[in-house]
Structure 1
C-alpha cells in the first residue's frame, strides 16, 4: 500500500449522494489520522466497514464498546484499540446527534469549506491530520469550485 492511501485503494467511490461511502472515507481518515501504520489502519477499516458492514454512524453505534474493541483487534489495531473504540463511539454519537449522521448535513450547516473543516475538527478525536486526509478526497465533492 502506498504511503498515502486513497478512497479508491479501499474500493470506495465517493459521491455526494452516497453517505455510506462518505462515512467509509471518514472512518478510514479517522483511523489513518492516528499514530498507527496505514496498513494496520486499513486492515481495521476493512474489518469494520467491509466485513461487519458498519457503513454509517448509526450502525457503528449499534456496537457495544467491547464489540468495537474486538473488531479493531481483528484488524490488528491493538495498540490503541480501547481508546480508539471510545473515541469512535463518541465521534459517531456526535455526528448522529448534531448532523443526523450525514456529511451533507454537516456541509449544509456550514457557511463554507473553512467552516466545514472547523466543524469537522470539533468532532471528538478529529484533529488537523484526520481533517486533511478526509478533505483531500471529500472536499472537492462537497465543495466543488
Structure 2
C-alpha cells in the first residue's frame, strides 16, 4: 500500500463515518435547548450499559418515539412502561435496572438543574473535569457515559472542544492521527472536530481501520 497522507485519512473518515450519534437520532444539539440535551443524557446512560452501541441507539430512539423527550415527560411515565419499551428494544437483560435509572435521572435533573442541563454547563464553567464529575452524579452514568456526553455535546458547548475519549484516541492512534485531543484537533476545522471524533468512534466499533487506510490510499 502506498504511503497514505493524514489529510486523506481524515477525508475518508469524514466522508464515510462523519456523523455524530446524536445527529443519527435526529437530535439537533446545535440548538442548545433542554430537550435535545436531555435526550443526549439518556443516550449517555443507555450506552453505559454493557450492551452494543446499536442496542443503545435503538433504545434511545424508542424513548423519543414514545414521546419521552423531556425530563417532565419521562417523569410522567411509569417504571412498568419504561421496562416494556426497553425490553422491546434491546435491553431485555437490563430493562428493569435501566428503567429505574432513567427515572432517577429525570428526578436528579429536575432537582439539581430545574430540568435544564445548561445549568450544569454554567456550573462547570468550561472545566471538562468538573463537568464530567457532575455528569457522574446521575445514577447510571459512569466515566464512559460522561465521556460520551461530552464527546457529543461539544457540537454546542464549544468551551469543551476539543474533547476526545479513550475510544476516539485509540482509533486515532491506530490511524497515526495523534494520541491526544489537541493533536487530533489540528487535523480539521473546529466545527468539524465533533464529526471527526464520531467517525473515529464508529471506525473503532466496526474495526474498520484497515478499510479506512485502503480507501485513503486510493485518493
TM-score, reference length from structure 1? 0.88
Aligned-residue Cα RMSD (Å) equals 1.9
* Counterpart Cα distance in 2 of 1:70 and 1:5: 28
User: Alignment partner of 1:141: what SS?
Assistant: coil
Aligned 8 A contact 2:31 2:156 in 1: yes
Q: For residue 200 of structure 2, what is the aligned residue in structure 1?
A: none
Point out where structure 1 has 5 or more consecutive residues left out of the alignment. none
| Bigger mean CA deviation after superposition, 37-46 or 4-13 | 4-13
Match 2:54 to one of 39, 51, 61: 39
Is the aligned partner of 1:23 residue 2:38?
yes
Tell me, yes or no, if the aligned pair for 2:20 and 2:152 is still in contact at 8 Å. no
CA distance in 1: counterparts of 2:108 and 2:100, whole angstroms = 12
Indicate which of 39, 52, 62 corresponds to 2:76. 62
1:8 is aligned to 2:17: no
Alpha-carbon offset, residue 15 of structure 1: 2.3
- Does the CA-based 8 Å contact 1:19-1:56 persist in structure 2? yes
Q: CA deviation at 1:17?
A: 3.1
Q: Post-superposition shift, 1:114?
A: 2.2
1: CA distance, partners of 2:150 / 2:129: 11
Residue 120 of structure 2 corresponds to: 106
Residues 51-108 of structure 1, C-alpha deviations (whole Å, 9 max, x = no match)? 2111111111111111110111121311100011111111110111110111101112
Under a length normalisation based on structure 2, what TM-score does the superposition of the two structures give?
Answer: 0.60
Match of 1:79? 93
- Greater CA deviation, 73-82 or 126-135? 73-82
111-120 vs 86-95, which deviates more?
A: 111-120
Higher-Rg structure is 2
Q: Residue 16 of structure 1 contacts residue 142 of structure 1 at CA under 8 Å; is this kept in 2? A: no
Write the distance in 2 (CA, Å) between the matches of 1:99 and 1:16: 18
Q: Where in structure 2 are there 5+ consecutive unaligned residues? A: 1-16, 162-219
Summarize the Cα distance change of 1:62–1:124 in structure 2 as closer, same or farther, 3 Å threshold.
same
